[in-house]
Structure formats: structure tokens, C-alpha cells
Amino acid sequence: MARVKVLVLRTAGINCDQETVFAWQQAGAQAELVHVDRLIESPARLTDVQILTIPGGFSYGDDVSAGRILGNQLALHLLEPLRAFLDAGKLLLGICNGFQVLVKAGLLPGPPGGEPTVTLAFNDSSRFEARWVHLHVCTDRCAFLPAGATLRLPVAHAEGKVVVSDDDALADLCRRGQVALRYVDANGGPADYPANPNGSVDGIAGLTDATGQILGLMPHPERFVDPTHDPLWTRSAPSEPDGRILFRSAVARFR
């Protein structure tokens, strides 16, 4: 059986690209790094892959706002090819800065190019937050996530607070199953700071689109794809690392 092909997008300031390639390889996929300029030159590259990933980092230094410049590039130059990509049943993943890019490009919560109802703002703590967090999978429609699972992943960001335009927009996200992940405490209950590291509305840590083909999340699954990535690994029984579950689930969709 042919290996699932993944394109990992990079540009200036992206710094989690190699880790993301490794994560896809660990899940059995064939991953290729491609600069956004090369994809803009040749959008047909998307026809040869099943999954597109925008990894974490600080694209273009986050100089305007986190993910804004790369998000604008996608919206201005690649929106139609991305629509065709998604119409073909393929998958799109944005991790941390990649989540910010998807939101700023109008791809999340969707539909692509629609009126924006969500953005990502500075953490309530007004500082960079880096720690391990607990997450609850809140949807049964996302191709990357097992419904009802509880995951433990690291976060590392300064602008990770999910903000929704109004209560009606939040209710719509919940009703449509687009809230993919919520921060929870170690017992699975509602999370306050620091378990919710940024103050996201309703504890939102990740969103999916209405089809479940797009996932954007602030935590870093690519940083937990080997048991030894866990700082507590010597105290735990061997098991599949929680981050690898996301990549494996997406690859399995195409097998």
C-alpha cells in the first residue's frame, strides 16, 4: 500500500518543522518540507498529498500579530487551491502558530473565506507560557482526534487565548461540534490558570471545521511522539504517546 503523503509548510520563523516531519514519519507517513513561496508558485503540489500541516514557531517573527502574515499569504494566494484540497476529502492541521495562521486566514472555524468569529489573543498572564496540560476531546467529528479521549500535551505560546466574537458564535461552535479540545484539570474538570494556560474562552484549546477535516490546536502533539519526550517517562508504564495518536489517526483515515 502506498504511504500517505504529507506536506509540511515552512517559512521564515517557523521552527517546529523538523519535529513535525518526524512526528508524521513516526505515524507511518511520508512527509516533505515545502516553503510557502514554492507552494504559491505551484499549488498543484497539493494534488499529490493527502495532508497539509502548518507547524509551530513564529512565522515572520509574529511582527504584526501571531500568524497574520502567513495567514494573509494563504488567504490571498492559496484559498481556492485549499478549498479544492478540502473538497477532495483531504486533511489540514495547524499546530500552535499554525493554528493562529488558520484562524487569521479564515480557514477556521470556517467556512473558508467566511466572516471571522474567532481570533487568538495574548495570554491573560501577559507572558509566554510553557507547560504540560490536560485536554479533553469534545467532538466526534474530527479526523485527528478520538472522541472522548483525554490527552496530555505540552504548550508553549504567548498568544494562545481563543476569543469568540459573542455568545451566539460560541454556542454555534459548541452546537456544531467544532470545539475540538478543551483544557481540563488533572481530574478532567474545568480548568483555571495554570491548567488553562492562556485564559481561552470556555477553555478552548483547539477547533475543527464543520467537516472535521481541519484541526487547529495550541498544544504541540509533535513534541510527544516518543515515550521519552514525557518528563515523567521513567515513572510511567510504556504506552502510545498522546501526541502520536493525532498523527496516527489522520494517517489511518487514508488506509
Annotated catalytic residues are 96, 220, 222
Among all chains, which residue has been given the C-alpha cell 490527552? 151
φ/ψ region of 34 (left if φ > 0, alpha if ψ in -120 to 50, else beta) reads beta
Instruction: For residue 76, give the DSSP letter.
Output: I
φ/ψ region of 118 (left if φ > 0, alpha if ψ in -120 to 50, else beta) reads beta
Strands (E), the chain: 5-10, 30-35, 51-54, 91-95, 118-121, 129-137, 150-157, 161-164, 179-184, 204-208, 214-217
